A and B are shown apart, each in its own frame.
Chain A
């Protein structure tokens, strides 16, 4: 189980890249063009083997081999994007009010009406690879789903998708309406960021702990240095210029302390690089549920999808953070539908729409941090 996937993967990629590959028991015999040979650091005729203890002629390939970094280049632009069309599934169109009232809680508005229509809907599944680098490094791959019509992110549908319907049907659904790709993609990036932050929780906690430990040690160090100077002033009963000289030493220690603390923070700061690897577009027939919601004499139209894979209503995406939210507010300014967190200033706790005011709170002036 451990070894085979690597060998067959390498074989497949070399195949795709136009190399001549022959499987020979445990080995792969490869003939490549000079150009590819240069790219991969192989000879034009090379034997690849996958079991470390054998000392044969050829190249040993393991999970830590260099070649795995360059090998995906052989695929050029293949595998960046594909599509799946799901067969027609059962669609719920009746008695949706009950589900709506179960799933949604309208915090400052009322539901006026709802109706359902059949609609072709497409989803983008995007695979992102992240590498989080501080004094340690953590990598991972996450997948994010975005409904291209509503920007909802029904992550749960992935497990169902992978179970069986994934192979799809031959019939291609025509999708009439879809948000512009930029909107879909930027929603996906926001969702990805949350997802990655969640995966990094323990990693970050560990680094946080070390940062605080280091800072505490440094504060202790400089604190003691200061005490030592103060004790000297006391003991020698220094006054005037002599005292002033020692006091300026204390000020210098403070400056150095600030610098050292900043240095620690820089040292631990975490940079997360996220790269889009590839994407798949899933198209299916679904029930589009159109809600009319009212807030202080103004009305908002909100579209949600009843997803036949989930057999459930998708939670709407908050317009601030794009996370799915059951409880939502409509803002006074533009009727944005936002989750409780995007509806409150973290400093003064007053109601503020983070979509209308992305930078700072209009009430207390507090700056909003990236979350």
Chain B
């Protein structure tokens, strides 16, 4: 072995001398001895903290902490010294583990600047969780456009950035110019090969600590594992060609040649818990779709609106995609949600058609979905969480429930934190029905409830998953029941065909949906694809064909994900847990 020059740490000292102390010494202005002793004793207290006790645990809000998560954080800090792959199986809470480790480092004063890189679809979720669970106020590239804010990358201390944005030509150089104390990369299987910009970005970032997160760190071949580990500890697996020669079976990029030795090395940088290993069982989910035949008037409203949107969207003069999308989603939620925004849009739509639809809505006497909701509620006992996206729909349901003499509480945006806590409390202790909008509920525990009703349905599967995640997560002990309402012939019915019938989305584990969507060949959002199909279809035939195609694509994506998952399970088995 070649002899290397010995390196020594750069050590720098900085003294802080509080003026309060020095001024007193200078003036010889003495105080009481017992206070002096007391101050010294209190300062000594902090030295008694060891790493064995995590400081962050007490400060977390609405987070159920599991022993294996605490163990992961301790190992990452103590054994891995802050450079690790978090590869827990889906559903075990990698984000929570990473959040705890971030909080712990911050509380110990060991880090100041943190950069979290996530896929665009997960940026806002990260931000919300960091705030609600860890009380960490990250700034995200969803809120601020760093293209317009010149000093963004330099100025902000806690950043959550979309990795697509960070690696873009416009930002790459600016992102890597800064020094970070901790960089967290979510869904690192997107880094894949060393020729991707994703990989190059992470490789170029200067950071003392580095967390790489993925439930399926390798997808296609073992070299992906090599690439990830090379980010954390270059040289641990030697060079790619040596790695292949030593650890990959000849002619089969997915089968390790020297399994035990490879695992030994991987163990130095990766931690992976599986549900069987930590003995966490997720209860089952049962989903039913309730397809409600619309009344004649309801059908007319939906069809008229649909036609109007298609026409106006097509001729390019009338409606933007966002507005069209919103109108259709409102119509799927309730006519009352549609009513107010339709009235506001009068002007950019032919007023005759608008008036006609508004007239129809005014002539309505309740809705069919409402009737069926009451039937469902009256059928069974127990707590029920009803989700609804639009405020007007929520107000309609509130009236409906009140008239039926049912007791309920509301949870909606605009309530203060105390009001929200109060609502959850009475849902827990007194009332059986919580009527909830999505926003602001993340940090609040409602696992005492195991029945969820989607009165309306988000088109984005990730949003649906977020709703389910409120009651179906580790900590839930009973089976979970999900009821999805939709009108016959509505977009939601087609979406449920794909998500429920085709890929059984409602039986997946939280976190898997994202992995499946990531396997879709097109970069477009599921929601956009749905919208495209709807707008371009002239007939029911077209619609069926379009959604069939989407269903097949989703199925293929799911199969791809499942194959990867199984492979990772075999590859890492149960030997890398805490």
State whether A131 touches B109 (Cβ < 8 A): yes
The list of the 3 closest CB pairs from A to B, nearest first, reads A221-B235, A79-B39, A79-B35
Is residue A271 within 8 Å, beta carbon to beta carbon, of the partner chain?
Answer: yes
Is residue B21 within 8 Å, beta carbon to beta carbon, of the partner chain?
Answer: yes
State whether B4 touches A219 (Cβ < 8 A): yes
12 A-B pairs in the complex with CB atoms less than 8 angstroms apart: A66-B58, A68-B42, A79-B32, A81-B30, A140-B47, A193-B13, A207-B9, A217-B234, A260-B234, A271-B12, A273-B16, A275-B17
State whether A66 touches B28 (Cβ < 8 A): no
Which residues on A are within 8 Å of B, measured CB to CB?
A: 5-6, 9, 12-13, 16, 62-66, 68-69, 71-72, 75, 77-84, 124, 127, 129, 131, 133-137, 139-141, 181, 185, 189, 192-193, 196-197, 204, 207-208, 211-212, 214-221, 223-225, 228, 260-261, 263-281
Is residue B296 within 8 Å, beta carbon to beta carbon, of the partner chain?
Answer: no
In the complex, A134 Cα to B47 Cα: how many Å?
Answer: 17
Given contacts A79-B35, A124-B25, whether A135 and B40 have CB atoms under 8 Å apart is no
In the complex, A176 Cα to B109 Cα: how many Å?
Answer: 43
User: Nearest chain B CB to A151's CB is how many angstroms away?
Assistant: 15
Residue from B12, B13, B38 within 8 A of A9 (CB atoms)? B38
Segment among B215-223, B236-244, B399-407 that sits at the interface with chain A: B236-244
CB-defined contacts of A279 to chain B, threshold 8 Å:
21, 25
Total interface residues on B, using CB and 8 Å? 64
User: Nearest chain A CB to B239's CB is how many angstroms away?
Assistant: 5
Residues 1-40 (chain B) with a chain A CB within 8 angstroms? 2, 4, 6-18, 20-22, 24-26, 28-33, 35-40
User: Nearest chain A CB to B104's CB is how many angstroms away?
Assistant: 11
Residues 65-86 (chain B) with a chain A CB within 8 angstroms? 81-82
State whether A276 touches B35 (Cβ < 8 A): no
CB-based nearest B residue for A137:
B110
State whether A135 touches B9 (Cβ < 8 A): no
Residue from B2, B10, B35, B241 within 8 A of A265 (CB atoms)? B10
CB-defined contacts of A207 to chain B, threshold 8 Å:
9
State whether A75 touches B21 (Cβ < 8 A): no
Residue from A12, A82, A193 within 8 A of B30 (CB atoms)? A82
CB-defined contacts of B32 to chain A, threshold 8 Å:
78-79, 82
Is residue B179 within 8 Å, beta carbon to beta carbon, of the partner chain?
Answer: yes
CB-defined contacts of B58 to chain A, threshold 8 Å:
64-66
Is residue B208 within 8 Å, beta carbon to beta carbon, of the partner chain?
Answer: yes
CB-based nearest B residue for A133:
B110
In the complex, A305 Cα to B81 Cα: how many Å?
Answer: 48
In the complex, A264 Cα to B208 Cα: how many Å?
Answer: 8
Given contacts A16-B38, A269-B12, whether A80 and B20 have CB atoms under 8 Å apart is yes
Is residue B49 within 8 Å, beta carbon to beta carbon, of the partner chain?
Answer: yes
User: Nearest chain B CB to A44's CB is how many angstroms away?
Assistant: 16
State whether B4 touches A215 (Cβ < 8 A): yes
Given contacts A80-B31, A82-B32, A139-B46, whether A272 and B21 have CB atoms under 8 Å apart is no
State whether B28 touches A83 (Cβ < 8 A): yes
Is residue B209 within 8 Å, beta carbon to beta carbon, of the partner chain?
Answer: yes
CB-based nearest A residue for B57:
A64
CB-defined contacts of B16 to chain A, threshold 8 Å:
273-276
CB-defined contacts of B15 to chain A, threshold 8 Å:
189, 192, 274-276
In the complex, A217 Cα to B31 Cα: how many Å?
Answer: 56
Total A-B residue contacts, Cβ distance less than 8 Å? 202
Is residue B206 within 8 Å, beta carbon to beta carbon, of the partner chain?
Answer: yes
In the complex, A68 Cα to B16 Cα: how many Å?
Answer: 20
In the complex, A69 Cα to B25 Cα: how many Å?
Answer: 25
Which residues on B are within 8 Å of A, measured CB to CB?
A: 2, 4, 6-18, 20-22, 24-26, 28-33, 35-49, 53-55, 58-59, 81-82, 108-110, 179, 206, 208-209, 233-236, 238-239, 241-242
CB-based nearest B residue for A12:
B38
State whether B242 touches A71 (Cβ < 8 A): no
State whether A276 touches B22 (Cβ < 8 A): yes
State whether A81 touches B4 (Cβ < 8 A): no
State whether A81 touches B31 (Cβ < 8 A): yes
CB-defined contacts of B28 to chain A, threshold 8 Å:
83, 281
State whether B241 touches A63 (Cβ < 8 A): no
State whether B36 touches A79 (Cβ < 8 A): yes
State whether A81 touches B24 (Cβ < 8 A): yes
State whether A272 touches B38 (Cβ < 8 A): no
State whether A273 touches B238 (Cβ < 8 A): no
State whether B14 touches A271 (Cβ < 8 A): yes
In the complex, A217 Cα to B242 Cα: how many Å?
Answer: 14
State whether B17 touches A137 (Cβ < 8 A): no
State whether B24 touches A80 (Cβ < 8 A): yes
Given contacts A75-B38, A269-B11, whether A263 and B206 have CB atoms under 8 Å apart is yes
CB-based nearest B residue for A80:
B21
Most buried by A among B16, B109, B235: B235
Most buried by A among B11, B24, B32, B44: B11
CB-based nearest A residue for B59:
A66
State whether B4 touches A63 (Cβ < 8 A): no
User: Nearest chain A CB to B162's CB is how many angstroms away?
Assistant: 25
In the complex, A269 Cα to B239 Cα: how many Å?
Answer: 27
User: Nearest chain B CB to A120's CB is how many angstroms away?
Assistant: 13
User: Nearest chain B CB to A169's CB is how many angstroms away?
Assistant: 13
Given contacts A79-B39, A82-B33, A137-B109, 6 further A-B contacts (CB under 8 A): A64-B49, A66-B55, A66-B58, A79-B37, A197-B11, A276-B17
State whether A16 touches B35 (Cβ < 8 A): yes
Residue from B6, B10, B47 within 8 A of A141 (CB atoms)? B47
State whether B9 touches A13 (Cβ < 8 A): no
CB-based nearest B residue for A280:
B36
CB-defined contacts of B59 to chain A, threshold 8 Å:
66
In the complex, A79 Cα to B32 Cα: how many Å?
Answer: 7
State whether B38 touches A208 (Cβ < 8 A): no
User: Nearest chain A CB to B431's CB is how many angstroms away?
Assistant: 25
Given contacts A65-B58, A66-B59, A274-B15, whether A9 and B42 have CB atoms under 8 Å apart is yes
Most buried by A among B17, B31, B42: B42
Given contacts A81-B25, A185-B17, A278-B36, whether A224 and B238 have CB atoms under 8 Å apart is yes
User: Nearest chain A CB to B320's CB is how many angstroms away?
Assistant: 47
In the complex, A63 Cα to B242 Cα: how many Å?
Answer: 49
CB-defined contacts of A140 to chain B, threshold 8 Å:
47
In the complex, A278 Cα to B33 Cα: how many Å?
Answer: 11
State whether B7 touches A208 (Cβ < 8 A): yes
User: Nearest chain B CB to A302's CB is how many angstroms away?
Assistant: 26
CB-defined contacts of A81 to chain B, threshold 8 Å:
21, 24-25, 29-31, 36
Given contacts A211-B9, A224-B238, whether A80 and B39 have CB atoms under 8 Å apart is yes
State whether A281 touches B25 (Cβ < 8 A): yes
CB-defined contacts of A185 to chain B, threshold 8 Å:
17, 22
In the complex, A225 Cα to B241 Cα: how many Å?
Answer: 9
CB-based nearest B residue for A81:
B24
Given contacts A68-B45, A270-B11, A277-B40, whether A212 and B6 have CB atoms under 8 Å apart is yes
CB-defined contacts of B18 to chain A, threshold 8 Å:
80, 275-276
State whether B45 touches A6 (Cβ < 8 A): yes
